[in-house]
Structure 1
Amino acid sequence: MENINHPLFNWIPVNLIEKDNEIYFEWIYLADIKYAEPFFDETITKCKSHDFNSKPFKVISTVDNLIDWSNDLISVELKSFVFHVSRCGSTMLSQSLATSLENVMISEAPIIDQIVRSTLFRADEKSTLLKSVLNLLGQKRFPEQRNLIIKLDAWHIFNADYLRSLFPETPFALLYRNPTEVLKSHQKMMGMHMVPNVLPSIIFGISAKEIDEVSFEQYGALVLEKYFQGFLDFYQTDQNVVMLNYNEGMKGVVEKFTSFINVCYSNEELHKMFERLKKHSKNETAVFSGDLYKEEVLQIDFSRLDILHEKLNNSLVEY
């Protein structure tokens, strides 16, 4: 069976909708557009000008429709989930991997986050639904495609055990970076998860009392502490996980990752990946010349972060 003859070929679910106590999924048509942008949402924005997506109504389905339809399409093999701590080279990694014609690279798809964090489903229903959505996002749309790689949102490290229960054989990658560099990047443009109360603090295991006791700047450090601890906890208990350190160089990160997921890329494909590393992660027309951060000292207590960061580095040595 070939996907190209299926009526749902190039259609994917992109949004969970709750209305009148019912749950629906919004769909969008991809045409021949690949997941090539730095973030999944940017690719979806490019698709919205297509005639199928420009009509005054949304294309929606029920949960049962989605699950049933996902079984009718051929998907490429899921090769890895990439977890990261934010501002640590994860976009550069995903952009590098996206250059390969063999890869289907999904970078922080909101629909995955919607399902993972949803309280609307029974446990078994959520698991089936998540697998179905990944099958649809990873449908084989081009002949060369063989590998599905999912870069998750930073806070999904706290769902790693749940995802492991669903995908026991899938390699997991944990990408991190020096905490000072991470937080200086957020100082330039703060991510929503680093701002108190934008995302529920319970996602990170942060109590209301902890929020009250830290400054605005220190809250970002507290979130990063939780990420680092989440990495350590999972790494120490799982046998199919690799730790990746941005500060050891992104070429080494790409080499270590591709080796770990056991995909044998051609020299041509690897060359394209390495060439992409020379450009800015969010703008491939600009040459990357290194990160430029403000010189002033951050008003942050790094004592706990430094300890956790050292433990992460030590785990790499042990690896």
Structure 2
Amino acid sequence: MELLSFDGWLPIRVWPVDGQWRVDWCWFGDTPLHQPFFREAVDDALRLPFNQAFRRQTTLSALTEWQAQSPGLVPSAFILHASRCGSTLISQMLAQLDDHIVVSEPPPLDALLRGDLPDAERGAAIVGLLSAYGQRRRGVEQRLVVKLDAWNIGEWPLLQTCFPDTPWLFLYRDPLEIAVSHLRRPGMHMVPGMLGDCVLEDGLQFEGREDFIARRLGRLLEAGLLHCRDSAGLAVNYNELPDAMAGRLARFFRLNDVQRQQVFAAAAQHAKQPSQVFVADGEDKRREASALLQARVQTCARAPYEALEKLRGA
């Protein structure tokens, strides 16, 4: 039987159909993933005439078959985070390096992590998926860094089982600043009913957006704290950025002296909107916070934040 080749192709969607999981592939060729988010890279690739004319869909088993035929890079680091706290800045800084593949919040990974497959099958599919992302499509890649969605902190034990030797960090920020950001423009995990089952659910009624966001943020920080303590995660505060990429984060990502200089090419840009200049906004966000939001954040999220700070300074 002739083996299929997926050279230049990446999985862009994984979903169940009548109980059978399918994989949608898109041709990227040797184009690097330089966009702030994987979904933006997919949007760009789908505009190519080739991808408008040709599509490939396979069963889930194609992921493990392709891994066996062409093993990709094993993840060298995972970035988990509390959202709106600098994780995209870190991933964009690393994306400046030619020998790094940086995959930022790929929806297929979230679909598998929170899917209903048996653990063994799900784990094999996750390993196969990241092997597909870790293909050396340009021939110079040496490291694969994966940034997850914020709510995937709940699935960290499964991911760690798949990659027990891969180091990881948990990035967070003053919870009041995160909460204000979500009040301005809520992420999907901060909109009731949009995300579905995840670690952020507490099953309780909420009173207004401030209450909902603060409680979810508290659960997110609690999960990050728990796994940092139990699984040797590196706790990193937003206020360390970007300077930490020349210090302890450079050591974490094993950057050499030249790479430490290269990553700072992205530090002055807005991470999510690279055409804009970055402007620190923490003070503005704290001033903007209403008394109600301050009270809810103090009740729901301040304690795990302070515990993370204590852990970081230990």
| Matches of 1:250 and 1:279, distance apart in 2 | 11
Q: Comparing 156-165 with 281-290, which one deviates more in the overlay?
A: 281-290
Cα deviations across residues 255-307 of structure 1 (Å, max 9, x unaligned)? 3223124x24342x222211211111122232212225484333222223222
Q: Give 2:202's aligned residue.
A: 207
C-alpha deviation, 1:32, in angstroms: 2.6
Q: Give 1:302's aligned residue.
A: 297
Give the CA RMSD over aligned residues: 1.8
Whether the 8 Å contact between 2:74 and 2:130 is mirrored in structure 1 is no
Q: Give 1:54's aligned residue.
A: 52
1:282 maps onto 2:246 in alignment: no
| Matches of 2:151 and 2:206, distance apart in 1 | 22
Whether the 8 Å contact between 2:12 and 2:26 is mirrored in structure 1 is yes
1:96 alignment partner, one of 59, 73, 93: 93
Q: Comparing 15-24 with 37-46, which one deviates more in the overlay?
A: 15-24
Q: Give 2:9's aligned residue.
A: 11
Question: How has the CA–CA distance of structure 1 residues 91 and 149 changed in structure 2, closer, same or farther, with 3 Å as cutoff?
Answer: same
Secondary structure of the residue aligned to 1:60 is: strand
1:256 maps onto 2:248 in alignment: yes
Equivalent runs, 1:179-258 vs 2, <5 Å: 179-200=175-196, 202-208=197-203, 210=204, 212-239=205-232, 241-253=233-245, 255-258=247-250
Secondary structure of the residue aligned to 1:32 is: coil
| Matches of 1:307 and 1:165, distance apart in 2 | 29
Give the TM-score taking structure 1 as reference length.
0.90
Q: Give 2:139's aligned residue.
A: 143
The amino acid of 1:68's aligned partner reads: E
Identity of aligned residues (%): 27
Whether the 8 Å contact between 1:246 and 1:253 is mirrored in structure 2 is no
Whether the 8 Å contact between 1:48 and 1:54 is mirrored in structure 2 is yes
1:86 maps onto 2:83 in alignment: yes
C-alpha deviation, 1:205, in angstroms: 4.6
The amino acid of 2:74's aligned partner reads: E
1:272 maps onto 2:262 in alignment: yes
- How many residues of Structure 1 are paired with residues of Structure 2 in the alignment? 305
Secondary structure of the residue aligned to 2:111 is: helix
Secondary structure of the residue aligned to 2:70 is: coil
The amino acid of 1:216's aligned partner reads: R
| Matches of 1:144 and 1:238, distance apart in 2 | 31
2:103 alignment partner, one of 85, 106, 116: 106
Structure 1 unmatched runs, 5+: 1-5
Q: Give 2:27's aligned residue.
A: 29
| Matches of 1:216 and 1:308, distance apart in 2 | 20
Give the TM-score taking structure 2 as reference length.
0.91
Q: Give 1:152's aligned residue.
A: 148
C-alpha deviation, 1:97, in angstroms: 0.7
Q: Comparing 57-66 with 293-302, which one deviates more in the overlay?
A: 293-302
Question: How has the CA–CA distance of structure 1 residues 302 and 18 changed in structure 2, closer, same or farther, with 3 Å as cutoff?
Answer: closer
| Matches of 1:24 and 1:175, distance apart in 2 | 32
Question: How has the CA–CA distance of structure 1 residues 220 and 273 changed in structure 2, closer, same or farther, with 3 Å as cutoff?
Answer: same
C-alpha deviation, 1:254, in angstroms: 6.0
Whether the 8 Å contact between 1:251 and 1:277 is mirrored in structure 2 is no
Q: Comparing 147-156 with 43-52, which one deviates more in the overlay?
A: 43-52
C-alpha deviation, 1:312, in angstroms: 0.9
| Matches of 1:264 and 1:217, distance apart in 2 | 40
| Matches of 1:162 and 1:23, distance apart in 2 | 19
Whether the 8 Å contact between 2:114 and 2:155 is mirrored in structure 1 is no
| Matches of 2:179 and 2:98, distance apart in 1 | 34
1:312 maps onto 2:305 in alignment: no
| Matches of 2:286 and 2:238, distance apart in 1 | 20
Whether the 8 Å contact between 2:96 and 2:266 is mirrored in structure 1 is yes
C-alpha deviation, 1:70, in angstroms: 2.0
